[in-house]
Amino acid sequence: MPNAYISGTGFYVPPRVVTNQMLADDYGIDTTHEWIVQRTGIEERRFSDPGVATSDLAAEASEAALEAAGLTKEDVDLIILATLSPDCHFPGTGVYLQRRLGMTEGKDAKFVPALDIRNQCSGFVYGLSVAASMVQAGNLKHILLVGAETHSHAMDMTTRGRNVCSLFGDGAGAVIVSATEEDRGIRGWNLGADSRFADALCQKIWTIADETCFPLDEQGRGIVEPELMWAHMNGKVVFKHAVQRMIESLMQVCMKLDAKRDDIDLFFFHQANLRINEYIAKMLGIPSEKLPHNIERFGNTTAGTIPIMLAEAERNGTLQRGMKIAMVAFGSGFTWGAAIVDW
């Protein structure tokens, strides 16, 4: 049975920087730089320009990952795309990514399957478990796994929505999960979910339980109430359960693999809130030099946070061949996951 390893990484963030002060000055949100930094650690984030979709960001990150792996789009056997901000309600954004990459064009057209994963902030770790399993089964050789988000086009950019809109940014990260006979790669993972708290972090638009998704006015136009249109978050509940579940998931995968804290060279925690990650690191005794973070520059890019960090760390020399790393995420659902990889 082959091992599954990450053969290439890539990331892309839009060029437009939106600072905390710009949220107040340009959008009129009643907030301050100090208020946001104190609670989240975020100083700025990236927003996409009008007309830019999640698949556009994903394509940029994918091309970078393919180049880093020394592969071409013709080598890809499967696309897995994790997002909570799809290009549209359906079809899935994975097929739009396939089109953006030009995979169905020319004499070398390859109609690879495309799979979307809707596990929000833990989507990349869930996707990593799927990709690794398929590669280890011997059916596929190279899988393109992407976490991508365009939050800025679907947030309440007013004071009413400041507890959410101040947290999120746009971006995409991608990895290639490949087969190898070498003794390296994705060693194991732990996944979980607790549906009791599904409504603590949610966006109810397209609530399909109703006879029509939206009430209609006399002209047949949909009417959506703000509480359905925008994301809702109970921050205190999220914080509490994120700490608990991220610690549990990491400990369980470590016990499964007989790995100790000091065996792990780097810990890549999902970038939802720097204060959550610092608290977990303190509880587990993880030194700050082992905990990369970029939330201060990019905010929470949901499914994109971990692959963006992997790509950045590999390019700046922090992440090197032979290291043992852990990835941990928690998000809406509630869902969570952890994975350990020998780089």
Active site residue 202: no
Cα 170 from Cα 57, distance rounded (Å): 8
DSSP string, 138-153: TS-SEEEEEEEE-GGG
Catalytic, out of 119, 121, 165, 293: 121
Active site residue 270: yes
Cα 136 from Cα 184, distance rounded (Å): 12
Strands 232-233 and 201-202, sheet pairing: antiparallel
Encoded tokens for 278 = 């610092």
Residue 256 in contact with residue 334, Cβ under 8 Å? no
Active site residue 254: no
Sign of the alpha-carbon dihedral angle for 235, 92, 144, 8 = negative
SS3 label, residue 57: helix
Encoded tokens for 141 = 């050789």
Catalytic, out of 151, 241, 270, 293: 270
Catalytic residue numbers, as ranges? 121, 270, 300
